[in-house]
Chain A
Amino acid sequence: MTISVETQTFIEENKRRYEELKAAGQQHAPKALPGPTLRGSASIMPGAVLHTETIPGGWYWSTPLKAGEALRIHLAHGPAAVSMIAWSATDASERLNYADTVKVQWTSALGKGRVLFSDMGRVMFSMVEDTTGMHDALVGGSTPASNRARYGDKVLRNTRDNFILEALKRGLDKRDIPPALTFFAPVRTDADGNFRWIEDARQTGDFVDLRAELDLVVALSNCPHPMDPAPDYAPPPVEAIRHQPPAPAADDLCRTATIEAVRGFENNAR
């Protein structure tokens, strides 16, 4: 295929801009992310707790979360998996976007120091504490079909139907349900890209703290992840604690760790 001079110039121009952007990005050295939060640390001051909800196994719960408030998801009663979706409180068409979240941070391994993006290039959550670093961003929550495949023909609650119920109760519908992130679902790929489940990566006492960076509505579903190899469907209750964390400092890790996070927060401020 012969390429015209104009096209060649166009390609060279785009390539040059790409190299410039790459060089500029490298000037902002990403901060080394810390390891997971220690279990038993980062306790919430009693006066800071706004609400505590115990979500029974198989059930769902939702809450408004104002910018600056945080949600702790706590495995208080045993290893569980908690799927999450979220909407902007002011415009439900702006919602959690896992694809942009993994793409702009170049990782599906979300953990302390990472942020979660909406489809509008804005930061919805900062992961300010996290004891496992083992969450699923790619496979999603359980569905009627995944429950049937895992547990046979029993009537069991699942994340897809939980989110349908949640959306409908809020005047939204199925079209408003974005793909979910699932906390405490230790999913990785092998060298060939096949998904595998890393057993023993979560235990009683694990928690994640999500600081809202916009006014949000958050929905959680407490159902076993579809890749969980446990033969029985026996999700324990989980605790969800809405609390008021200290205001972020100027050098807040999540806001400054990467150039992408910095730009995301610039979008929040516009």
Chain B
Amino acid sequence: MTQFFASPVRDASSALRDYFVPANAPFSCLVKKGESVRIVDLEGQQAVDTLFYKADDFTERYSSQDTLRVQGSAYVSTGTKLISSEGNVMATVIADTCGRHDTSAGACSCEANTVRFGHQVKYLHACRENFVIEVSKHGMTKRDIVPNINFFMNVPVEPTGELAIVDGISGPGDYVELRAEMDVLLVISNCPQINNPCNGFNPTPIQVLVFGAED
């Protein structure tokens, strides 16, 4: 796998803030313009479903379709600009040790799980449950939840339009780093999915580090 490090790589100990997000859990924090957020897949093969909202106007939020259109490619990696519903750049991917990430397939939900896997899996915790709980802390509702980025998830889109099913490709310690281009609210669901290989059948914790602006 090609490595896509930014250079120089900043030491984790220089982070302003350091969060541990347990397996299955939701998480959110504010990231100021110029700060960088590093999402670390501590044990590997863990999907991290992520949304962004403009910090002072939550009606402006991450748009998967605008992001795909502007970069002209189905995958997110180093250099990808994450575009908002208003056409503004919210963040830029500045480092990525994994290679590529998905923003076509959205988050798992109890309801979609019944369709994908059968009704017997309805009562299993899911990303949309996490998102609803987490955005409610900021005064938002299900209306505010839009299709997200799935960091560390590999969903190849074939020239026929088919989406392929493949195992997670991240290893322990793999990370993705994003520089905020506006003040954003970062919302994460550390995916609890255990019905397919995206989390290696075993959801694991992640780390979120926030670094100060570089000179």
Contact = CB atoms under 8 A, between A and B. Distances in A.
Q: Do A and B come from one complex?
A: yes
Contacts of A179: 63-65, 146-147
Given A102-B104, A138-B157, A193 B73 contact: yes
25 contacts: A1-B43, A11-B200, A15-B201, A18-B196, A92-B143, A93-B141, A102-B105, A104-B112, A106-B163, A108-B161, A108-B163, A117-B112, A121-B113, A138-B68, A138-B74, A140-B65, A144-B87, A146-B69, A174-B59, A178-B146, A189-B74, A260-B116, A263-B115, A263-B118, A267-B115
B83 to A, nearest CB: 9
B14 interface: no
A90 interface: no
Interface in B122-166: 128, 141-147, 156-165
A14 B201 contact: yes
B85 interface: yes
B104 A108 contact: yes
Interface of A is mostly: mixed
Given A99-B104, A190-B159, 6 more contacts: A10-B201, A104-B112, A106-B165, A109-B161, A117-B115, A144-B87
Interface residues of B, number: 57
Contact of B202 (A10, A107, A192): A10
B75 interface: yes
Given A139-B69, A179-B63, A189-B74, A104 B202 contact: no
Contacts of A143: 66, 87
B159 A93 contact: no
Contacts of B50: none
Contacts of B145: 119
Interface string B156-186: 1111111111000000100000000000000
A264 interface: yes
A194 interface: yes
A195 B72 contact: yes
Interface in A160-208: 160, 173-180, 188-195
B160 A139 contact: no
Contacts of A93: 141-143
Interface string A257-269: 0001001101100
A226 interface: yes
A117 B65 CA distance: 17
Which 9 pairs from chain A and chain B are nearest by CB?
A99-B106, A109-B161, A140-B65, A121-B111, A145-B87, A14-B201, A99-B147, A193-B74, A103-B105
A267 B158 CA distance: 29
B149 to A, nearest CB: 11
Interface string A140-153: 10011110000000
A227 interface: yes
A140 B146 CA distance: 13
Contact of A195 (B68, B87, B160): B68
